[in-house]
Structure 1
């Protein structure tokens, strides 16, 4: 059965379990229950998108082969043998035939302006149907990436048995899909130039652009604001996989997701979300979180940057330093003191456009690690900030910063976990390949015990990080949990990247083998978004107040 269905705008609301009413060629009266649930999920999560662009292919026996047809078209476009303007239903049907597969049971195409999140497509591809998006009529090569993920990873997921179990028993199919998508992107794209970028302090512009297109920069943001609507666990999994390869890339992702986008979505006005959150979550631009100052690091209450109330606007003056994405971000979330006599209760948070007069960004710092990310000092001199750009009520700025940082620490914990896991995976590989005294060095107890300690500490950190993510998704207090996760993961990252160098011996001391870079990157996880000492303070205060989080059963 081959059905072509056209549906536009509000007609999507008619897709219900036992009430399928579509303008279609053919009769669609019943679909399997799981398909109903998935279609309903599309409606609920895109209810604010009046028009959208997507292609849905349903075939229970041949969903893997559908990607073969898409792959053929993608290759032809990339090679220039097929013009994007010539792609239509007939071309797709022809490629389905040449892919030696039966016709799909159902093809749905809706047309319009707003796209559905790429991550939603990955989620749906692991239900009973395969979901491939070609952004009609824009058929760029990057848009096939997510459509091919499950095809490319089929052997990894289903073709081998006996591989080491790692905690996937607690993950949903959708979360596994995100995890594998991030792993594939990191290993096959980010890894290609990671050493060169680290050496030359080169910002990963191309990778960040691609991540925006793939939905990595607004993973937890509601789809109505350009994001993926994913849970925190999915975000943590993606952070972990990308950090295994390059923490410079993952820190850009972390700041944009868990500090900037999350902060705006939770506490911004609708006008602020429409104007600023949508381009940030969709990856059109990136943002920065401006709290630290030359004399206000861990003591964030000692803000010297001022925002003087001038009636119709605030006059912003001051300096922020150690700002991630400093020279590449379009929008800054800036904390500044408006009422000094009120101390921390007089601090406000503002959205500042880097293109406004009076904003000056220094050259990036020359850092020990995460060298291809940009960390800058930003000066604000008589910058006029409109009143509507204040976030929250007057005096809410310090509370805003603390709430945002509490959630942001989960992202940095995932980054630290990824750095440690990346070093561990490289060490396992090297220990199996490198021979000494007639056998692989991993068979020598001195090295084997190091690997055992690495695996144990990393798994413990992983449990803490995943637990914090689940608590956040349950809307529970994560103050202690996120600090614990960041503390244990960052300590594991620093300790075991050093051990990874020891496992590699002399080779670990040179850049070709990556572990020395992972060690340099690991150190910052003990410093930013709250030092290890600050985490101890946060945790101890929560314990003494009997606010330790309730146990969670996986």
Structure 2
């Protein structure tokens, strides 16, 4: 057991950190102005410019297999990169990537969807959540009915990240109603559906800057060759997509919390009350100390979940732990940081209020707190995971 980053990992971490400090953080005021005017935080032109700069530094397809032109650095490195990038709220993603389940595509689908997505020529989204079916997949109602060599899809999906911009969606629909009703898991299939096939999206207004979409399918006809994976095998694909996304939420919370905590420390050393910096007040010191401890704990939970995945092991239990603790840690830290700043922290003069609104979402999407607790408890009660075992 060696609980330290390798020299290569440290080098990548420092390079990403410098990129964030030099290229992204200076854009924060511009992003805030755009968002408050109801515009996208960054234009597509600016995003592409940043991605080109990142690519020139060697960061393209960080976790994409080498056969598709990626760096294939692994999940641990992905976690470290996300922690650094999340130290800013500038909406930037390194290019050259695709959703993990899109790699299950057959050769024709890879040519048509996977490779163009990796190259940045197409955008995708994943859709499983419905108005009455979030984490409870038994309530999925979208139907796919076979008609010749096509499937006809009818139904709605909601809170779909990237749904307004996507060129195609990987959508879960019921293909065997009887199987689905009996188990709540079987009888669903994942389809790759181009926007031009007829589905529509509409923007959902939220309290934060996250702009999810509602998707509507009204007799959308999808050719049989657009089935992703196997018929009635959509549930496992959905689990794999969500399982990957869960510990990612924890990684993002860590990066944001580290930046926020540094803001609080800097402010506490400058702000004076009754003749002394508030950094000398025990009440402030305890909030800083508690935040630092929670960040460190979340960091190792996330890295453990990523390490387990790198080793080809099932990390779903660890991913739920990392997501539950990490998202709550992020909420705790941003709340303390706002409290330390007092009234000015509540204003839009500082970005704390923006992070405050964003952080509240971490405890909801990709599985709520309650769902993570249910999964963790169920694994322990059923004996799938033993107390005290190393994972």
1:190 aligned partner: 24
Q: What SS does the aligned partner of 1:296 have?
A: coil
2:233 is aligned with 1:396: yes
Distance 2:365 2:36 in 1: 22
2:174 is aligned with 1:358: no
Deviation at 1:368, TM superposition (A): 1.4
Q: 1:377 aligns with which of 210, 214, 230?
A: 214
Distance 1:295 1:447 in 2: 43
Deviation at 1:180, TM superposition (A): 2.9
2:138 is aligned with 1:301: yes
Distance 1:217 1:532 in 2: 33
Q: Residues 298 and 274 from structure 1, CA distance in 2 versus in 1: closer, same or farther, beyond 3 angstroms? A: same
2:60 is aligned with 1:221: no
1:367 aligned partner: 206
Q: 1:249 aligns with which of 91, 100, 125?
A: 91
1:416 aligned partner: 253
1:324 aligned partner: 161
Deviation at 1:520, TM superposition (A): 0.8
Q: Residues 210 and 173 from structure 1, CA distance in 2 versus in 1: closer, same or farther, beyond 3 angstroms? A: farther
Q: Residues 293 and 230 from structure 1, CA distance in 2 versus in 1: closer, same or farther, beyond 3 angstroms? A: same
Deviation at 1:497, TM superposition (A): 0.5
Q: What SS does the aligned partner of 1:236 have?
A: helix
Distance 1:428 1:445 in 2: 13
Q: Matches of residues 230-241 of structure 1 in structure 2 within 5 Å?
A: 230-241=73-84
Deviation at 1:217, TM superposition (A): 7.2
Distance 2:174 2:60 in 1: 29
Q: What SS does the aligned partner of 1:361 have?
A: strand
Q: Matches of residues 72-471 of structure 1 in structure 2 within 5 Å?
A: 170-191=4-25, 192=27, 193-203=30-40, 204=42, 205-206=44-45, 208-210=47-49, 212-213=51-52, 214=54, 218-246=61-89, 249=91, 261-265=99-103, 267-343=104-180, 344-354=185-195, 356-362=196-202, 364-369=203-208, 371=209, 373-471=210-308
Q: Is the 8 A contact 1:211 1:217 kept in 2?
A: no
Higher relative contact order (CA 8 A, sep 6+): 2
Deviation at 1:456, TM superposition (A): 0.5
Q: What SS does the aligned partner of 1:320 have?
A: strand
Deviation string 1:321-363 (CA, Å, 9 cap, x unpaired) is 1011111122211111111111131100011222x1312111x
2:390 aligned partner: 551
Distance 1:492 1:421 in 2: 11
Deviation at 1:393, TM superposition (A): 1.3
Distance 1:340 1:499 in 2: 48
Deviation at 1:525, TM superposition (A): 0.5
Q: Is the 8 A contact 1:416 1:486 kept in 2?
A: no
Deviation at 1:438, TM superposition (A): 2.7
Deviation at 1:299, TM superposition (A): 1.0
Q: What SS does the aligned partner of 2:297 have?
A: helix
Distance 2:256 2:176 in 1: 41
TM-score, normalisation: structure 2: 0.89
Deviation at 1:319, TM superposition (A): 1.2
Aligned length: 375
Deviation string 1:26-80 (CA, Å, 9 cap, x unpaired) is xxxxxxxxxxxxxxxxxxxxxxxxxxxxxxxxxxxxxxxxxxxxxxxxxxxxxxx
Q: Is the 8 A contact 1:218 1:280 kept in 2?
A: no
Distance 1:393 1:294 in 2: 26
Q: Residues 332 and 178 from structure 1, CA distance in 2 versus in 1: closer, same or farther, beyond 3 angstroms? A: farther
Deviation at 1:453, TM superposition (A): 0.5
| CA RMSD after TM alignment | 2.3
Q: What SS does the aligned partner of 2:186 have?
A: helix
Q: Is the 8 A contact 1:290 1:323 kept in 2?
A: yes
Distance 2:236 2:156 in 1: 20
Structure 2 stretches lacking a partner, 5+ long: none
Distance 2:275 2:101 in 1: 56
Q: 1:473 aligns with which of 286, 289, 310?
A: 310
Q: What SS does the aligned partner of 1:511 have?
A: coil
Deviation string 1:279-324 (CA, Å, 9 cap, x unpaired) is 2223333321111111111212322112212232211222111011
Q: Residues 404 and 466 from structure 1, CA distance in 2 versus in 1: closer, same or farther, beyond 3 angstroms? A: same
Distance 1:380 1:208 in 2: 30
Q: Residues 176 and 512 from structure 1, CA distance in 2 versus in 1: closer, same or farther, beyond 3 angstroms? A: farther
Q: Residues 186 and 396 from structure 1, CA distance in 2 versus in 1: closer, same or farther, beyond 3 angstroms? A: same
Deviation at 1:169, TM superposition (A): 6.5
Q: What SS does the aligned partner of 1:189 have?
A: helix
1:497 aligned partner: 334
1:139 aligned partner: none
Deviation at 1:381, TM superposition (A): 2.0
